């Protein structure tokens, strides 16, 4: 059976061998045993269930928490010539019957389901009729109330054991503490599962935390020294553009990425980064799924991540080729003091969740007791603006409603661009006879899309550009020009979410039922923030040792490449006295200038400056220091 697995790996993925411990996990799964596997980011989790599922007769059911994640995996499998599907949001009962008939008789190998979908009695009956060879629980940390993305609906997926008692279960996650791993096994009622834990230790990844008042200056310094692919994480959409513009003004090549960009803008930013046309990408944590670029040398966090789990996933995108890479967190005292305060401001109370929930029904004019099963086109910022809601707090309220199965939000929903010709083809061609490029463009559209004179037709600007050997931006420009001349109507793609209500409107009653889960969510968020701050501020223990300890690995071996280890190696000989003797009365100095005067590292100088400030021997204003 193992030889078959190896042939499948070679045929569909082009690899000659498995990574450690993929081979052992696959062997256990093929033997029909239950498995819990912890593989850090980049460890190749999906292959651990996809290969054994392909090696056996029947279908693999995959439970996954995010629609976007399911769509991404189905697309990846389809590209490799493997039949995979999911149940589209808002599917009618007749559509689901047709889909399951296609699964049973069309040799489909993978069915992706959300845990909320699984609660449907109708879908449970349909699953009973399938020949299931394996059940895979992706992002299994969602089962545990101490997992960093706890979803109460994950605790109900044991129904699959009743529906398909003979199918083995493999539960996979990239980030979980020992407590969470134990929770996964007990919640899934797995008796003596084989547990695989790949160490979080990354010998080639240097975790470095710098305290600096001049983050942009430090960023400039990093990219002057390291000219290689990089990711810069920030905490707001506006900062992605702001930091990218700064880097471009400094002569670096960067693009930006966040959840509010249109599908075209996202694809362009991603492709430019992958091809290294713009080797630096500035992004929110929306930039995460499907990233497998091996030669990322630097991952910078300009703002503190939300948890150690999020941090290690994002930092882990660096150095996947095994060569040295750096994870850099730029922080300062105000970041740390504001962190807990900002968290409090972003966490909604039960009453605030009730308000957001009620406003959703008002927004879409749904009456009490009514349930509309079709999708709603949802623009988050318009919704916040209409009701005067705080975006950050509202986003978290929607997350809680989603995690508890009250609503379903598809952020990856893409409203495609549409075009309809208002003039006849002869009129259009005659008006563009002097512009050969435009004429070729119109002829190409007419060849690609039928019925475009009768109704608005969905188009793909990237596909048209590829056919014409052009760029999507020039295609959009030509379409906008034709629309201005009133030859066509052109509606550009939007990046709104698709929203479904999963329960009839009951207002407060609905939220009261999940109030215990909400309290647990708030408690957990505060604990995760506290754990992160402790890690950031602890500068006496090797960063790698701290992270390993958090995830239940106990090691006394220092990494020798993090900021703590390097500081221990390079103890400064500079003293307070040296700083004071170099500062001239009546003159102000930046940290960079003081470092230059004393030929010393910024981290060491900052420690001494903090001491001098606390002893009131110097003063600071506008990030500059001067004698008292």
CB 100 within 8 A of CB 126: yes
Q: Is a pLDDT exceeding 70 seen at residue 171?
A: yes
CB 580 within 8 A of CB 612: yes
Q: Is a pLDDT exceeding 60 seen at residue 562?
A: yes
- pLDDT at position 256 is 96
- Beta pairing partners, 244: none
Of 41-45, 360-364, 404-408, which range is least confident? 41-45
The percentage of residues in the chain with a pLDDT greater than 70, rounded to a whole number, is: 96
- Could you report the per-residue pLDDT of 576-626, keeping only the tens digit for each? 888 888 888 778 888 888 888 888 878 778 878 888 887 888 888 888 888
Domain ranges of the chain: 2-197, 205-331, 340-413+496-527, 417-491, 570-627
- pLDDT at position 204 is 95
Rounded distance between C-alpha atoms, residue 20 and residue 33, angstroms: 19
Q: Is a pLDDT exceeding 70 seen at residue 261?
A: yes
Query: What is the CATH architecture assignment of 570-627?
Result: Orthogonal Bundle (1.10)
Reported as a pLDDT band with limits 50, 70 and 90, residue 557 is confident
For residue 179, the tally of other CB atoms under 10 A from its CB is 13
- pLDDT at position 377 is 85
Rounded distance between C-alpha atoms, residue 208 and residue 230, angstroms: 15
Q: Is a pLDDT exceeding 60 seen at residue 518?
A: yes
Reported as a pLDDT band with limits 50, 70 and 90, residue 412 is low
What's the whole-number mean pLDDT along residues 448-453?
Answer: 84
Please give the structure tokens belonging to residue 591.
Answer: 């940290």
Residue written as tokens 């509309």?
Answer: 372
From 64, 136, 125, select the one nearest 96 (Cα to Cα): 125
Q: Which residue has the higher pLDDT, 6 or 492?
A: 6
Beta strands 110-113; 59-63: pairing state:
parallel
The percentage of residues in the chain with a pLDDT greater than 90, rounded to a whole number, is: 47
Q: Is a pLDDT exceeding 90 seen at residue 146?
A: no
Looking at domain 2-197, does it have CATH number 3.30.420.40? no
- pLDDT at position 413 is 52
Of 12-26, 243-257, 462-476, which range is least confident? 462-476
- pLDDT at position 327 is 97
Helix (H, G, I), strand (E, B) or coil at 113: strand
Q: Which residues contact 242 (CB under 8 A, 6 or more apart)?
A: none
The H or E element spanning position 445 is helix 436-448
Q: Is a pLDDT exceeding 90 seen at residue 1?
A: no
Residue written as tokens 């999906």?
Answer: 46
Q: Is a pLDDT exceeding 80 seen at residue 118?
A: yes
CATH of 340-413+496-527, one of 1.10.10, 1.20.950, 2.40.160, 1.10.3470: 1.10.10
Reported as a pLDDT band with limits 50, 70 and 90, residue 305 is very high
Rounded distance between C-alpha atoms, residue 319 and residue 305, angstroms: 19
- Could you report the per-residue pLDDT of 201-259, keeping only the tens digit for each? 999 999 999 999 899 999 999 999 988 999 999 988 899 999 999 999 999 999 999 88
Q: Provide the mean pLDDT of the chain.
A: 88
Reported as a pLDDT band with limits 50, 70 and 90, residue 468 is confident
Rounded distance between C-alpha atoms, residue 77 and residue 562, angstroms: 38
Rounded distance between C-alpha atoms, residue 185 and residue 35, angstroms: 9
- Could you report the per-residue pLDDT of 52-104, keeping only the tens digit for each? 999 999 999 999 988 778 888 898 899 999 999 998 876 788 889 999 999 98
- Beta pairing partners, 560: none
CA dihedral 331, 332, 333, 338 (to 10 degrees): -50
Beta strands 280-283; 298-301: pairing state:
unpaired
HSE at residue 452, side-chain half, CA atoms within 13 A, is 24
The H or E element spanning position 515 is helix 515-537
- Beta pairing partners, 627: 618
What's the whole-number mean pLDDT along residues 108-131?
Answer: 92
- pLDDT at position 210 is 93
Helix (H, G, I), strand (E, B) or coil at 207: strand
Rounded distance between C-alpha atoms, residue 401 and residue 356, angstroms: 10
Rounded distance between C-alpha atoms, residue 368 and residue 385, angstroms: 24
From 592, 603, 589, select the one nearest 217 (Cα to Cα): 592
Reported as a pLDDT band with limits 50, 70 and 90, residue 415 is low
For residue 99, the tally of other CB atoms under 10 A from its CB is 19
CATH topology agreement for domains 340-413+496-527 and 570-627: yes
Reported as a pLDDT band with limits 50, 70 and 90, residue 318 is very high
Reported as a pLDDT band with limits 50, 70 and 90, residue 116 is confident
Rounded distance between C-alpha atoms, residue 16 and residue 6, angstroms: 7
What's the whole-number mean pLDDT along residues 571-575?
Answer: 74
Please give the structure tokens belonging to residue 265.
Answer: 């803008």
Query: What is the CATH architecture assignment of 205-331?
Result: 3-Layer(aba) Sandwich (3.40)
CB 411 within 8 A of CB 68: yes
Q: Is a pLDDT exceeding 60 seen at residue 414?
A: no
Reported as a pLDDT band with limits 50, 70 and 90, residue 184 is very high
572 burial (CB, 10 Å; 0-12 / 13-18 / 19+) is middle
- pLDDT at position 52 is 95
């Amino acid at each position: 059976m193992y030889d078959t697995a190896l042939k499948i790996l070679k045929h569909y993925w082009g690899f000659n061998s498995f990574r450690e411990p993929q081979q052992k996990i696959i062997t256990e799964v093929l033997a029909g045993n239950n498995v819990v596997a912890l593989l850090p980011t980049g460890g190749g989790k999906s292959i651990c269930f996809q290969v054994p599922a392909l090696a056996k007769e029947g279908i693999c059911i995959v439970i996954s928490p995010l629609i976007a994640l399911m769509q991404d995996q189905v697309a990846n499998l389809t590209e490799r010539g493997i039949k995979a599907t999911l149940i589209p949001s808002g599917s009618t009962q007749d559509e689901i019957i047709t889909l399951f008939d296609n699964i049973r008789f069309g040799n489909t190998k993978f069915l992706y389901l959300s845990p909320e979908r699984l609660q449907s009695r109708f879908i449970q009956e349909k699953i009973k009729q399938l020949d299931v060879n394996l059940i895979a629980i992706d992002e299994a940390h969602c089962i545990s109330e101490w997992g960093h993305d706890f979803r109460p609906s994950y605790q109900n997926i044991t129904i699959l054991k009743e529906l398909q008692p003979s199918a083995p279960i493999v539960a996979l996650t990239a980030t979980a503490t020992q407590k969470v791993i134990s929770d996964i096994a007990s919640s899934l009622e797995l008796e003596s599962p084989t547990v695989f834990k790949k160490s979080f230790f990354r010998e080639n990844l240097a975790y470095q935390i710098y305290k600096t008042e001049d983050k942009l200056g430090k960023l400039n310094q990093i990219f002057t020294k390291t000219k290689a692919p990089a990711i810069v994480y920030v905490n707001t959409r506006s900062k992605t553009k702001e930091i990218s513009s700064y880097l471009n003004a400094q002569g670096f090549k960067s693009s930006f990425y966040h959840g509010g960009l249109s599908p075209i803008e996202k694809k362009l930013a991603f492709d430019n980064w992958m091809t290294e046309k713009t080797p630096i990408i500035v992004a929110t944590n929306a930039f995460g799924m499907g990233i497998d670029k091996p030669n990322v040398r630097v991952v910078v966090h300009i703002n503190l991540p939300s948890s150690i789990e999020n941090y290690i996933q994002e930092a882990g995108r660096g150095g996947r080729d095994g060569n040295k890479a750096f994870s850099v967190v730029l922080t300062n005292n105000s970041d740390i003091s504001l962190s807990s305060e900002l968290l409090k401001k972003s966490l909604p109370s039960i009453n605030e969740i009730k308000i957001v929930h009620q406003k959703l029904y008002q927004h879409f004019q749904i009456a009490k007791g009514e349930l509309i099963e079709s999708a709603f086109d949802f623009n988050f910022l318009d919704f916040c603006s209409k009701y005067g809601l705080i975006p950050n707090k509202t986003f978290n309220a929607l997350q809680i409603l989603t995690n508890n199965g009250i609503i379903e939000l598809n952020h990856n929903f893409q409203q495609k661009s549409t075009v309809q010709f208002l003039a006849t083809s002869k009129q259009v061609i005659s008006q563009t006879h002097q512009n050969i490029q435009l004429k070729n463009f119109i002829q190409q559209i007419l060849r690609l899309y039928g019925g475009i004179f009768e109704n608005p037709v969905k188009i793909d600007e990237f596909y048209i550009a590829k056919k014409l050997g052009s760029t999507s931006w020039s295609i959009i420009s030509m379409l906008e020009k034709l629309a201005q001349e009133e030859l066509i109507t052109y509606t550009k793609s939007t990046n709104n979410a698709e929203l479904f209500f999963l329960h009839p409107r009951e207002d407060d009653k609905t939220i009261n039922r999940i109030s215990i889960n909400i309290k647990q969510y708030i408690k957990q968020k505060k604990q995760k923030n506290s754990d992160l701050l402790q890690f950031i501020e602890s500068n006496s223990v090797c960063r790698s040792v701290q992270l390993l300890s958090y995830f239940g690995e106990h090691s006394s071996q220092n990494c020798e490449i993090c900021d703590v280890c390097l500081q221990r190696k390079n103890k400064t000989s500079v003293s307070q006295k040296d700083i004071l003797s170099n500062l001239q009365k009546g003159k102000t100095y930046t940290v960079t200038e003081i470092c230059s005067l004393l030929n010393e590292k910024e981290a060491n100088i900052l420690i001494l400056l903090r001491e001098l400030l606390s002893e009131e021997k110097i003063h600071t204003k506008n990030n500059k220091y001067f004698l008292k």
